[in-house]
Amino acid sequence: MEDKIEIKSYNESIFNAIALKKGSQYFREIKKDWKYKVYNPKIRTHCSHLTIQFNTSLNEETGEITKSLFIIGSLRKWYFGQLSFQDFTEITYRKALKLFAHTIGISLEELRSFTLSSIEIGINCRMDVDINYIKKGIYQFRDKRYQKKYDVTSIKFKSKKGIVTLKIYDKYQEIYDKCINKRIKSYEEEEFIKMHQHENNIRIELSLRGGQDLINKTLFRLRKDTKITIGTTIEHFDTLYTFFWMEVQKIKVSALGGLKEPQPRKSKDINTYTTAYYIEKEGIEAYKRITKKLSNRGYYKQSLHKALQQFINLRQAYNQKRFLQNIRCRLYCLIGKDRKISRHKELIPYP
């Protein structure tokens, strides 16, 4: 569930303990005595890593030196490897933190004390429909303040002041492009391609930024001024999943799938089909962009609503409900039948 992390520590004893591990075979220097890559000792190929940055600052007035550590990267990729669709359960999350703490030369309790600057929550999910349909079919997240940005590989929703960012992309394609789009592939890479190239695996990520207070207020909702640390994510691990579930329900998805054939005797049905076909091929954002040129704002809203309704009516069974079923089924596999997820009884999981 938790993926990319940005964590800090100002504890000098922790700083010194990790500094002693700089010469380890699992540390690789990026910038001398300052920035290092840390690899997983249990993974043979060094493809993914976490980055540790050592900082020292001098107070010229007092002469006091402050030491701090900054760690950033994908803990999920570091633990499971680059060629993996696995997500953390509560057990594997603890194991990953324990292994990382051991690798950098500190205890798990010391790692628990690191404070969060930002946090990324996400899952890899196999869908029942082509990923390109999903990317075009998703037209809103939360409210209209969150603007959709669409490219070949992903869609992203972000507002100017919002702490939460949503990103959805083709996970298989991301792995293929970054790791295995090369002339000579390893045995593991060849097997990965054979196993997953025809699956519709998407990655859904929620990133939270804005500092301790905003992360607490938005995600954990603990007592004010509570310090949000790695320990907080361990103790409130189920909160990550329930927050994720509540947020993905704010994703608006038009019906996905093939269009039904129009009735050739009715010109109205053909016009409706033409509109729906355009939305399917170009996406709802393209249709909104054209209809926004209308001077009458009331007519624009009415036209958009009517077109969307016609589009949904002409589609097959895959709609927002099925989209959420796929996600809910994946969450069941990771967290079990959590009470806050299970209460949405209309979303029965797939067999």
Last residue of a domain, one of 89, 114, 139: 114
Asked whether residue 148 is assigned to any structural domain, the reply reads no
Highest mean pLDDT among 98-102, 124-128, 256-260: 98-102
Q: Could you tell me which residue, 194 or 277, shows the higher pLDDT?
A: 194
pTM (2 d.p.): 0.80
Task: Work out how many domains the chain is built from and give that number.
Answer: 2
Give per-residue pLDDT as tens, 155-206: 999 988 778 999 999 998 888 887 666 666 677 777 877 788 778 899 999 9
Domain that holds residue 61: 1-114
Asked whether residue 175 is assigned to any structural domain, the reply reads no
Highest mean pLDDT among 74-78, 251-255, 295-299, 346-350: 74-78
Asked if pLDDT for residue 214 goes beyond 60, the answer is yes
Give per-residue pLDDT as tens, 61-79: 888 889 999 999 999 999 9
Q: pLDDT value at position 152?
A: 77
Q: pLDDT value at position 100?
A: 98
At 240, the amino acid letter reads: L
The Cβ of residue 42 has, within 10 Å, a number of other Cβ atoms equal to 9
**C-alpha span between 193 and 174 (Å, rounded):** 12
Give per-residue pLDDT as tens, 333-347: 888 765 556 554 433
Lowest mean pLDDT among 69-73, 101-105, 112-116, 151-155: 151-155
Asked whether residue 159 is assigned to any structural domain, the reply reads no
- β partners of residue 72: 6, 51
The Cβ of residue 235 has, within 10 Å, a number of other Cβ atoms equal to 13
Quick one: pLDDT band at residue 12, thresholds 50, 70, 90? very high
- 95-131: string of b/e by CB count within 10 Å (b at 16+)? ebbebbbebbbbebebbbbbbbbbbbbbbbbebebeb
Last residue of a domain, one of 114, 147, 177: 114
Asked whether residue 2 is assigned to any structural domain, the reply reads yes
Quick one: pLDDT band at residue 306, thresholds 50, 70, 90? low
Quick one: pLDDT band at residue 30, thresholds 50, 70, 90? very high
**C-alpha span between 89 and 110 (Å, rounded):** 22
Q: Which two tokens stand for residue 175?
A: 């792995």
Asked if pLDDT for residue 26 goes beyond 80, the answer is yes
**C-alpha span between 17 and 78 (Å, rounded):** 21
H or E segment and range at residue 320: helix 320-335
Lowest mean pLDDT among 108-112, 113-117, 149-153, 244-248: 149-153
Q: pLDDT value at position 351?
A: 33
Q: pLDDT value at position 196?
A: 80
Asked whether residue 246 is assigned to any structural domain, the reply reads no
Report the SS3 class of residue 207: strand
Give per-residue pLDDT as tens, 137-164: 888 999 888 988 887 789 999 988 778 9
Asked whether residue 286 is assigned to any structural domain, the reply reads yes
Asked whether residue 87 is assigned to any structural domain, the reply reads yes
Asked whether residue 221 is assigned to any structural domain, the reply reads no
Residues near 235 by beta carbon (within 8 Å), at least 6 away in sequence: none
Q: What is the mean pLDDT of the chain?
A: 83
